[in-house]
Structure 1
């Protein structure tokens, strides 16, 4: 295909046992980030806020910033920070980051800049909080940019009619397990309210830190085994997953991936997006992330 599109939809009535309510979407643009006629900077609904992907564009000039991938990464993150500040949301309320790179070789330079933005607050630094994260190597980006970044943000006060004073009634809960590969740049699982974001998992054996041997089927099995270990470490099961995103180095591997994929689920399969990418970190054949339902929610701050 030449194009593929997925979506997230507001669901004001909720799912049982939540009672229906008149929650509304709240959309906002900031003068301090580049505007677009085809998207809104930030769209909040209930306890989550989706930030449009930010290119390394100077909002004053509308042009790409001068310099290489470091300067471009900094501008992307500055744009996201400006958007969050425009709605009085701290940078460390980000629960998931997606980084799109034109060249995988730029990842170390991107990470160097990334670590200057996370953690942002003294509290986050104390607990070494970093969001869940996925890195995608794209064949091209708009404006011939080298990097593009989007984010999902926790939105404690919710959208009307929820009371603003409830802002701090819900907390971010981050967790790592020894049974899946760890990274200093991301947290394996970040829960907030009724959702839980799982960082992209490579087919890495957590005991050795190396890619597993074998083809796409074996690598898919390891990715999903890592996700399963993470999900079970927070007392959930694979069937609690509501969305899966799969990256494939070779789209022709999709049938082999599917054969393994269905063996990890017992009930209705999650929503899913599959994309072919130009490269995957560690020269892997597959990378998978997920969003998990978190019915118990996260606790109020004491």
Structure 2
């Protein structure tokens, strides 16, 4: 009997066949990573008729079909990410959303992007708990429970929980620059807004007795990518947070995304994935105490002082977004989107190999494209790195990328051996 977790990819005929080389859901350890669902009817393979409400309903129906097919329920969803092409459509999407989450609400992120595959109006992604785990023939802890938490010291929302913990991770709702006392955006520009987003994250973590330096991945959504430097000034005052983190210069993995619009017309929104060393009940003491974060950089991929290439915690490695930068020159590679996609994936492969893993260990890939029409060209390259098309995937079109790149890719990678002290 194997003592290692295994990557388990699954598909069902009750949800749309993938429009690219990826699986509907990939389970590893205590999480199922679902590919972002488009409003495609499984029977026809085409977008559902109607407007954004009908499209949103089809997205959630597809998610439910996948969740049902792996013997889970919608209450097992830990986090939902909603992408729309028009931020004004969020209210209509929310009407549908509430019919699928009538009591419990997961952590949530909502963002408007420049374009979606098949010219869809909405795309929805889900992260689902997996209590039984993926050790072959050896269920780990089928009775693990979710821990949900809200604090009045951060903005509250009836449609999302501030943080949902499951197993060894806390999944936070994306934080807008809202002052929790007033319920309004803070006064000022992007610096003040970024500071408030990070203050809200810190307040949520303090409410569950988790230090700020337990963050393993940060996703920053910016309305104007040229605001990155201003946000970085603020960001650097929050990371590293503790004396220990400053000693080792620890910063989380990070992805920066250009949003076409954000809720409340905010300039910035920040999402965090956080370690949870003590786990969720009823994980026994010997399985949870002393688990540590392992951060790693390699010379064979581009480095950044504000992010770590990969941060491992428990059974996952969280990778920073990779741009098509040649690590030897520090410049974007010559050529078009194919050459750039290849460089992104080469950088990812170099990082994965530097931590003694292989690309077969990747469970989820997120692709950000300046031109959504480039997806076919990207897939030509992508299939040479993932010939089996196993990882779950998300693809969105964005209005801009750092370095004026055409593509950016980040990933979540399995970590079968876990991090010390390895239960």
Name the TM-score, length of structure 1 as normaliser: 0.98
1:187 aligns with 308
Cα distance in 2, alignment partners of residues 149 and 38 from structure 1: 17
Match of 2:139 in 1: 19
State the Cα RMSD in Å. 1.2
**Of the candidates 398, 406, 414, which is equivalent to residue 285 of structure 1?**
406
Q: For 1:86, which of 204, 207, 213 is the aligned residue?
A: 207
Question: What 5-or-longer segments of structure 2 have no aligned partner?
Answer: 1-119
Distance 1:71 1:24, change over 3 A: same
Give per-residue Cα distances to partners, 1:114-151, cap 9 Å, x unaligned: 00000000000000000000000000000000000010
Matched, 1:8 2:127: yes
2:295 to 174, 177, 181: 174
Other-structure match for 2:58: none
d(CA) in 1 for partners of 2:288, 2:190:
36
Q: SS of the counterpart of 1:200?
A: coil
Q: Is the 8 A contact 1:248 1:277 kept in 2?
A: yes
- Say which SS state the counterpart of residue 247 (structure 2) adopts: helix
Once the two structures are TM-superposed, the CA of residue 57 in structure 1 deviates from its matched residue by: 0.2
Partner of 1:251: 372
In 1, are the aligned partners of 2:150 and 2:204 still within 8 Å (CA)? yes
Indicate if the aligned counterparts of 2:221 and 2:269 stay in contact, CA closer than 8 A.
yes
Q: Give the C-alpha shift of residue 19 in structure 1.
A: 2.7
Work out the CA distance in 2 between the residues paired with 1:242 and 1:16.
15
Please say if residues 24 and 159 of structure 1, whose CA atoms lie closer than 8 Å, have aligned partners that are also in contact. yes
- Show the 5 A alignment for 1:32-181: 32-163=153-284, 167-181=288-302
Return the TM-score normalized by structure 2: 0.70
Q: CA deviation at 1:269?
A: 1.8
Per-residue CA shift, 1:28-69, capped at 9, x if unaligned? 001100001110000000001100000000000000000000
Q: Is 2:324–2:332's contact at 8 Å kept on the other side of the alignment?
A: yes
Runs of 4+ in 1 over 6 A off after TM superposition: none
How far residue 169 of structure 1 moved from its aligned partner, in angstroms, is: 2.2
1:202-217 map, 5 Å = 202-217=323-338
5+ residue gaps, structure 1: none
1:16 Cα deviation after fit: 1.4
